[in-house]
Amino acid sequence: MCGFAGFIDLNHQADPRSRHYRRTWLQAMGRQLARRGPDDEQLWLDEYLAFVFRRLAIIDVAGGQQPIWNEDRTVFVAVNGEIYNHLELRTELRDFHTFRTRSDTEIVLHLYEERGTAALSLLNGMFAIALWDSNRRQLFLARDRLGIKPLYYSQTDTQLIFGSELKALLAHPQCPKQPNWDDLKNPIPRSSYVKDIDMLPGGHYLLYDLATRTVNPSCYWSLEQHFVTDSQNASFAPEDYVVQYGELFVDSVRKRLMSDVPVGMFLSGGLDSSVIAAVAAQSHADLHCFTVIEPCTLLTGDATAAHQLATQLQVPFHPVKFEPTQILNQLNFSLPQFEYFIWMLDAPRFDLEWFFKHELHRYARTIVPDLKVMLLGQGADEFAGGYSNPARTPTADWPTYLATLHTKTLQPFFADRPVPQSWAPWLAAIAASQSTAATSMFQAEMLHRIMELQFHNLWHEDRTASSQGVESRVPFLDHRLVELLAAIPPQYQSALLWDKTIIRHMAQPWLPKEFAQRSKVGFVYGARDRSSIHQLAHQLLVNIFPDFFDKYHNTTFEPFSSDRLLKLFKQAKLDSQSRIDVTYKLLNCIAMIIFHNLCKTQFWNSTIGFLDCPSPLTTDSKFCVAFNQL
């Protein structure tokens, strides 16, 4: 997990003081990425480009400093993320190259010199790439196929500003700063929450040519190219898909263990994280596994399952106690901490799931200070049928599930709102899939989930991990696995994707049957009784609202009135049926106002240092004792 930011401003040469200003702005942008890359900072300024890189050292810790230059120092590259097949790719280079590091980043540089943008199709990994070709006066930016690593950009008449996080762009004084509240009109947002700042979609790259000043995002990968609609064109028989998926999955996990520093994982106790842990533990006996112990995870059985599996695998297990009546006091949680979360998330939104994951990362770094890599089970459900039969809202069979997709309106995800032009092909593919027979609806759902992952799950997983100097890795989102699932023809989907059958069967050599057959439950919110979560949300609101109102009521309460907020707070304090809904609504109103204030002030020239290590949370020893007595 690293971070970079930069800008090209073609007007700066007219001002003799410009180098000083550019360096000052660049340093401010770098400060916003300090938590993401705490190990090193490198700045580069030339006649055209200003660039800063913040490093989290994972591969070639001593020698992998970025950016990395080619032999004649005409081209440099910087990568946020990892290229897992970099050693294999070294053998595929056509020309002689002198490698100066053991870093996975350097392979991108030399592949680009040989093959240009076609090099992207050879990379297996998660990445955001910035490559500067000084001879061509051209900047190359690219994002991995599924959008695991973030990349923002904003273009004005004379400049391009770009970076790994929104806050880094906002630190530039000439960056647009007007919040885009239209982004909140859908459950999943569409862009950056700020007008005229875009996210480069996954599977895309852009070239910024100084001569033409044009930004044209181009697609180098799309999932619909891998769809199979007729079983006669299928690559395998149904049972062969399970075998092939299992082989690719094991290879994916092993690739994501590539690290020169300790690796851990979030072991929820569900199927996805359990099978990752089982495979990873074969080669990493010191795989530290972290689990949330909270009334909801106990009610669903996830916590108990996680403990059972960790015991069987004989890996270090850390059941982290989240006691709803104590946690806010333990963290001394007040308004500054809530402001930190809005700053950290790059968004006018707040959710307790993100809070839990942030604190789990912080606890992990406290217990294992050298830990910088965390494996996650993210991404399995989206493409393997994980939402087809959840425990809380089961469906009868695959046709019934497809019927719910057929009636589900996917298009309003972007309806009647402007979207980046580069997203148009995906929207067209979704619309085309919806117009076909019901059996192809799951392929439309896959396209929808790609966008949803980038704007929601992968976004918050990236921010909560990077805020603690941790890189999260997602084995189920190896593009080879996703492409294989896309290639399952509709006639085979019922047998392979209903209730995530392909993963359950694939997991059998690695997991006992009781783990492979566990039902899908949501993290934290999966229990039917979620009173502990609601209690925590309400107490959080009570903690922060008085100070929030005192601090912000003299500012513009855009987009809400102060009277309206006071009325909601009084309603939230009442013990009524609407208390829960009002609590969450008001927390998000507060988040929007704080975000608006951050955008409109010069706050971005500083950083927020709250919620650093050490974590005040503890291992739930009572849970361990009770479990061992069963």
**Neighbour tally for 397: CB within 10 Å:** 13
3-state SS, residue 565? helix
Burial class (CB in 10 A: 0-12, 13-18, 19+), 622: exposed
Tokens matching residue 392: 């809380």
Distance CA 367, CA 386 (A): 32
Burial class (CB in 10 A: 0-12, 13-18, 19+), 563: exposed
Distance CA 130, CA 76 (A): 8
Closest residue by Cα to residue 548 from 607, 597, 606, 582: 597
Distance CA 150, CA 199 (A): 8
Q: Which residues of 504-540 are buried (b: 16+ CB within 10 A; e: fewer)?
A: bbbbeebbeeebbebbbbbbbebbeebebbbebbbbb
**Neighbour tally for 579: CB within 10 Å:** 14
**396: Cβ–Cβ under 8 A, 6 or more apart, which residues?**
none
Closest residue by Cα to residue 249 from 375, 398, 123, 149: 375
Distance CA 321, CA 618 (A): 6
- Cα angle 171, 175, 176 (rounded to 5 degrees) comes to 120
The residues with which 317 forms a beta bridge, in sequence order, are: 289
Catalytic residue among 2, 289, 589, 599: 2
Taking CA atoms, 395 is separated from 155, 403, 495, 498, 522, in Å, by 47, 10, 15, 10, 16
Q: How many CA atoms lie within 13 A of 16 on its CB side?
A: 0
Q: What is the DSSP string of 284-301?
A: -TT-EEEEEESHHHHHHT
Q: 179 φ, ψ to 5°? A: -60, 145
Q: Residue 575, Cα to own-chain centre: how many angstroms?
A: 36
Q: Please name the residue that has the structure tokens 């704007």.
A: 455
3-state SS, residue 69? strand
3-state SS, residue 500? helix
Closest residue by Cα to residue 224 from 245, 203, 251: 203
**Neighbour tally for 630: CB within 10 Å:** 7
Mapping DSSP onto H, E and C, the string for 393-460 reads: CCCCCHHHHHHHHHHCCCHHHCCCCCCCHHHHHHHHHHHHHHCCCHHHHHHHHHHHHHHHHHHHHHHH
289 annotated active-site: no
Burial class (CB in 10 A: 0-12, 13-18, 19+), 437: exposed
To 10 degrees, the CA torsion angle through 362, 368, 373, 377? -70
To 10 degrees, the CA torsion angle through 95, 256, 118, 152? -130
Task: Yes or no: say if 154 and 199 are a contact pair by the CB < 8 Å rule.
Answer: no
Q: Hey, which residues are catalytic here?
A: 2
